[in-house]
Chain A
Amino acid sequence: MVSIASDLPVSSTHPRWLIRAALLAIAYLVIPFVGTSYLFEAILLPFLALSLAGVGLNLLTGYAGQVSLGSAAFMAVGAFAAYNFNLRVEGLPLVASIVLAGFSAAAIGIVFGLPSLRLKGFYLAVSTLAAQFFVQWALTKFGWFSNNSASGVIDAPPLAIAGIGFESAAGRYLFALTIVTVLTFLTLRLVASQTGRNFIAVRDNETAARIIGVPVLRTKLLAFAISSFIIGIAGVLWAFAYLRTVEPAGFNLDRSFQVLFIIIIGGLASIRGAFFGAALIVVFPLALSRLGAFFLGDIFDSGVLDMSQRIVLGGLIILFLVLEPDGLVALWGRSVRRLGSVFGRS
């Protein structure tokens, strides 16, 4: 249903793990020391949370071919579950509540993934909107979820593992980075495994997949579960590490679309793509507001800015779909190859 150029891990000539290790080394050893708090708070933390959400959705939409418009709902489930586990279970370590939050999101994901057994394409995409509206309604309606806080906005608990606090901006960055790294690594393994191949088989041709013995129904539900698990933890990062507050309003339909845009712009069925897409989505509005303030000065009020951001973002998505349907990843791959051939010749 979706044509995707780069799917299965290709054994390339340059060792990928080397690049990954180098990136990780920079992320862990260089950035925490040179980064400013603006860099962490405004760019890196939302980037990490959204990247992880993108990885999760990409598993479902890019690999397993099930379009979901309810990502923000699963983020919300994750964030609120982590908050409640942390609040209500005495002495539960933070990591345990985060993992449990992931499982809660996975459970909700399976429930809302059930229509995928009978519906496809647009019908399924629309039905995942049910998750979006229902979850947001339930979280606002029932005070229990937000511990009966009057405003519905609650402070996230402090991040600490085994007594070590991660309260500073750099600390929260390292906390998020570690979680994203671990989950991304696991996802890369998963995609290369039999399960990952089953996802792709179901996406590309359900009937053929069934004939060669892929359990289609189970595979779809598994895709929903794993994807929601990851997106749920992304929601925890979004609320706990980035915003420091937990509130249902932040997980609205626009957020769901944002995650979807990330994987389209980045590239469907590509783990790297989620990171590319998230980087663009996070940096782009900041750059636009800077540019706007620079060129137009005072007449550029926040309302105008908001609207022009919408226009440019929408235009960008259309442009990407028309010019580069395989996303930033394809663009990146081509540039690397071109550079490689230039250097190879000389």
Chain B
Amino acid sequence: MSDFDWLFFTEVLVGGLLSGVMYSLVAIGFVLIYKTSGVLNFAQGAQLLFAALTFVSLVERDLHFVPALAITFALMVIIGIAIERAILRPLTNKPPITLFMATLGLSYVIEGAAQLLWGTQVHALDLGIEDIPFDVGGVFISQFDIFAAAVATGMVALLSIFFRYTRVGLAFRAVADDQFAALAVGLRLPWIWATVWATAGLVALVAGLLWGARLGVQFSLSLVVLKALPVLVLGGFDSVAGAIIGGLLIGAAEKLAEVYLGEYFGGGIEGWFAYVVALAFLLVRPSGLFGQKLVERV
């Protein structure tokens, strides 16, 4: 093993970890919703697509960065409120799987609406960050990856502070803990849900912009969701920390596998490798990464 290229290994590992941060960012959107309303929101990917597509289309219509961002965010908030009205409220107290299927339907609606509104062609999104790799002790790291990771980290920090130190955050945590108790102390559940979905819309917006800049804004952006699901299985659906660490693990494992194992399988394994990692991990340790709770949640 003397000729093992450690420098190259580190480069792949760092690249994987950085792209893992992007997975975490999508996964956090799921966790937000799951914690407070017990819904696995499959429409997260569609929301992400909608946000990115709206933003890009606005910018292409000669709107400046900030107003475009504001309008898109406002739209995401409206969508969040609409979702609460049209889906969550009528489906209160229904089994979680019913709600999950409702979000499946929702993802169809949002994807269709986004593309009906803005067309199906691929848009390039330029955030003004040049993708020049730079040299850190012989390891080349993409500048854009660093930027994305920084934004994601900032987002996570912001959310954590929001959850911990604000009244709204406290209300979120109360609802996540016990819906009935939260109702009993006078928290308005519909309002909180609408806020949570709007927050998830914000996360979708940020994730959509980052992923959109990376992949181009197009339909396949909504499939990012499928990358985040194994992260959730690994980290637990209701743990922000799990989403972050799960994302890092999956990102690193995926890149390393693609580079070092890919040739044995003939390449293209990134579509399912993350799932295998998550499943293998759970088969060995069924309580997931953070073992506080049994995975046997229904």
Contact = CB atoms under 8 A, between A and B. Distances in A.
Interface of A: 1-3, 67, 114-115, 118-123, 125-127, 129-130, 133-134, 136-137, 141-142, 253, 257, 260-261, 264, 303-304, 307-311, 313-318, 321-322, 325
A318 B87 contact: yes
Interface in B173-203: none
Contact of A141 (B115, B233, B265, B295): B265
A307 B53 CA distance: 15
Contacts of B120: 303, 307
Contacts of A121: 96-97, 297-298
A240 B294 CA distance: 44
Contacts of B80: none
Contacts of B107: 314
A303 B120 CA distance: 8
A46 B267 CA distance: 34
* A interface secondary structure, majority: helix
Contacts of A2: 95, 97-98
Interface stretch (B54-62, B153-161, B275-283): B275-283
Nearest to B269: A137
Contact of A118 (B111, B115, B265, B295): B295
Given A120-B297, A314-B109, A322-B91, 10 more contacts: A1-B95, A123-B237, A133-B272, A137-B269, A261-B104, A314-B108, A317-B102, A317-B104, A318-B102, A322-B90
A318 B109 contact: yes
Contacts of A120: 295-298
21 contacts: A1-B97, A115-B283, A118-B283, A121-B297, A122-B97, A123-B237, A126-B232, A127-B278, A130-B275, A133-B226, A253-B226, A307-B113, A307-B115, A311-B108, A311-B113, A315-B105, A317-B102, A318-B102, A321-B98, A321-B101, A322-B102
B271 A133 contact: yes
Interface of B: 40, 86-87, 90-91, 94-98, 100-102, 104-113, 115-116, 120, 226, 229-230, 232-233, 237, 265-266, 268-269, 271-272, 275-276, 278-279, 282-283, 286, 295-298
Contacts of B278: 127
Contact of A325 (B98, B111, B113, B237): B98
B295 A317 contact: no
A310 B229 contact: no
B98 A125 contact: no
Nearest to A117: B283
Contacts of B112: 307-311, 314
A130 B276 contact: yes
B92 to A, nearest CB: 11
Given A119-B295, A318-B105, A141 B226 contact: no
B84 to A, nearest CB: 13
Contacts of A122: 40, 96-97, 100, 237, 297
Contact of A133 (B98, B275, B297): B275
A311 B106 CA distance: 8
Nearest to B86: A318
A210 B279 CA distance: 25
Contact of A127 (B87, B233, B265, B268): B233
A310 B286 contact: no
A32 to B, nearest CB: 35
Contact of A137 (B94, B97, B271): B271
Contact of A307 (B98, B116, B272, B283): B116
A118 B278 CA distance: 13
A126 B250 CA distance: 15
Given A118-B283, A137-B271, A311 B98 contact: no
Nearest to B297: A121
B272 A119 contact: no
Contacts of B286: 118-119
B101 A264 contact: yes
A129 B104 CA distance: 14
A1 B109 contact: no
Given A133-B271, A307-B115, A316-B105, A125 B100 contact: yes
A129 B101 contact: no
Contacts of B272: 130, 133-134, 137
List the 5 shortest-distance A-B pairs measured between CB atoms, nearest first: A314-B108, A317-B105, A310-B112, A130-B275, A311-B112
A130 B90 CA distance: 32
A203 to B, nearest CB: 11
